[in-house]
Amino acid sequence: MPVSVTIDHVEKYFGSFHALQDVNIQIQPGELFFLLGPSGCGKTTLLRCIAGFHAPESGRILMGDEDITNLPPYKRDTGMMFQSYALWPHMTLEQNVAFGLEMRKVPRAEIRERVRVALDHVHLADRAKSRPNQLSGGQQQRVALARALVIDPKCLLLDEPLSNLDAKLRLEMRQEIRRICKQQELTAIYVTHDQKEALSIADRLAVMKSGVVQQVGSPAEVYRNPVNRFVAGFIGECNFLEGAVESRGDAGAKIKTPYGTFVTTRCADTLSPGTFVTLGIRPESVRFDTPPAEGANVLAGTAQETVYLGEVAQRVIRLSSSEKNVEPFQLKASELNPLVAGTPGETVRVWVAPDQVMVLQ
Ligand code: ATP
């Protein structure tokens, strides 16, 4: 049975440096949960606290109902997979995978069977007698996964497991990791700074900044309703415009910015006229078709360069302000058909639907 993992008011210091600040996360049994954030935000520190390599100064870590805060790592039933595969080059794959079971004094016949099953799960049963240097990077990563899985952990901990692989292999392996976690009903906690990796396979994720959890939710929740400017900019791309509330009605608010006025239906009831706010507009929310009505949410600008991103083209539109001393704003807009977005230098009109204008802290 998969277990829940509870992180309860965890604090961690390195000397006077406050690496984890009152971290509270509840991970459900069988969930594939991501810790996401920029370099140095404390992801690995939190993972190492869960594994038992760091002791928090205060707070508790529970696996199911059991308080494991003070248990040594080898008593925690966690399997760990690191960025470097850390395979022993002189051992065959089956010897590499068997190592953890030998350390636990599991009987020989059982070791043989469990290693076979683990290698089978990662589709490498036929390479059991090979050595690591005879395998590709992706295959070596699978062996590392088999080695973490073979001890039958209650919780799998993954620390940037794919960062050594090229882009294509990373795509394949992330689906593979999700498949295995779901097939084995494992609770897994996965650290990465790659938001695409997290968005594509996470059940839920926590976004961290400077040791503080900013938001916990499903990829769609966090992408659609980021709690603040940091999360909006870290998960996906976002245009930020500063403005002030002009009026507030039942249907939403009118926000005045130096580049135009926006009506938004996505704002708190407490927002009052005169309050300064940041608006967040995703590039894919910027539209080039005819707006329902002229006026609010329609912006005119000059088309700038195009960046092709494969499935979409990203246009930069230079919005200028009628106010004095306001720099032009480079609005990013994604468009499936780059031809509608104007050639560089051309004047274009774009608009944003009121339910796509986010109001951020
Ligand atoms: P990355 O993505 O770069 O691995 P991270 O979010 O995993 O970053 P951590 O490794 O958790 O970050 O580090 C968080 C902060 O704690 C960093 O500023 C780091 O320098 C500091 N830190 C981590 N381990 C130690 C340690 N053993 N002693 C002192 N400071 C540490």
Residue 126 belongs to domain with CATH number: 3.40.50.300
Query: Is residue 194 located within the same domain as residue 318?
Result: no
Beta bridge partners of 116: none
pLDDT digits (tens, 9 = 90+) for 82-132: 776 678 889 999 999 999 899 888 999 999 999 999 998 888 999 999 999
Residue with tokens 């949410």: 297
Whether residue 219 is found in the same domain as residue 349: no
14 CB neighbour count, 10 Å cutoff: 10
- CA Rg value for the chain: 25
Q: How far away, in angstroms, is 90 Cα from ligand 1 center?
A: 32
CA-nearest residue, atom 18 of ligand 1 = 40
pTM: 0.88
Distance CA 109, CA 107 (A): 6
- pLDDT at residue 271, as a whole number: 83
Residue 270 tokens, joined: 């407490």
Mean of pLDDT over the chain: 90
Name the token pair of 32: 């594939």
Exposure string over 166-197, b if 16+ CB within 10 A, otherwise e: eeebbeebbebbbebbeeeebbbbbbbbebeb
Q: Report how far ligand 1's centroid is from the alpha carbon of 3 (Å).
A: 27
Which one has a higher pLDDT value, 46 or 80? 46
The reply to whether 131 and 178 lie within a common domain is yes
* Nearest alpha carbon to residue 79 among 60, 52, 106: 52
Structure tokens at 200: 């594509």
Q: Is 41 in the pocket of ligand 1 (CB under 6 A)?
A: yes
43 in ligand 1 pocket by Cβ < 6 Å? yes
Nearest residue (by CA) to ligand 1, atom 17, is: 40
- Closest by CA to 331, choosing from 299, 354, 355, is 299
pLDDT at 291: 85
Q: Do 209 and 283 sit in the same domain of this protein? A: no
Q: Are residues 171 and 249 in the same domain?
A: no
For residue 328, the enclosing domain spans 237-360
Q: What is the pLDDT of residue 359?
A: 93
For residues 254 and 268, give the distance between their C-alpha atoms in angstroms, rounded to a whole number: 12
Provide the strand spans (E) within 187-266.
187-192, 204-209, 212-217, 239-248, 253-257, 260-264
- By most ligand atoms within 8 Å of CB, the mutation choice from 13, 43, 83 for ligand 1 is 43
Q: What is the DSSP letter of 287?
A: B
- The per-residue pLDDT for 248 is 87
Residue 14 CA to ligand 1 centre (angstroms): 9
User: 192, 211, 232: which is the final residue of a domain?
Assistant: 232
Question: Which whole number is the average pLDDT over 330-345?
Answer: 80
Residue 361: which pLDDT band, with cuts at 50, 70 and 90? confident
Can you tell me the distance from the alpha carbon of 325 to that of 166, in angstroms, rounded to the nearest whole number? 46
Calculate what percentage of the chain has a pLDDT beyond 90.
59
The most distant pair of C-alpha atoms in the chain lies apart, rounded to whole Å, by 80
Q: Please tell me if the CB atom of residue 3 comes closer than 6 angstroms to any atom of ligand 1.
A: no
Write the pLDDT tens digit of every residue in 205-219.
999 999 999 999 999
Domain co-membership, 269 together with 166: no
pLDDT of res. 21: 98
Do 352 and 321 share a domain, yes or no?
Answer: yes
Q: Are residues 176 and 323 in the same domain?
A: no
Per-residue pLDDT at 54: 94
**Calpha distance 108→113 (Å, rounded):** 9
Residue 251 has pLDDT above 90, yes or no: no
> Which candidate, 33, 83, 43, places its Cα nearest to that of 201?
33
Q: Which of 200, 232, 264 is the last residue of a domain?
A: 232
Report which of residues 325 and 317 the model is more confident about: 317
Q: Determine the atom of ligand 1 nearest the C-alpha atom of 37.
A: 6
CA 177 to chain centre: 15
For ligand 1, atom 1, which residue shows the shortest CA distance? 39
Query: Looking at residue 176, what is its pLDDT?
Result: 85
Inter-residue contact 317 to 270 (CB < 8 Å): no
What integer pLDDT is reported at residue 267 of this predicted model? 80
Q: How many residues are recorded in the chain?
A: 361
Give distance in angstroms: CA of 42 to centre of ligand 1.
6
Looking from the CA of residue 191, the nearest atom of ligand 1 is 7
320: confidence class by pLDDT, cuts 50, 70, 90: confident
Count structural domains, the chain: 2
Asked which of 202, 232, 262 is the last residue of a domain, the reply is 232
Question: Residue 20 and residue 60: Cα distance in Å, rounded?
Answer: 13
- Range 316-333 average pLDDT: 88
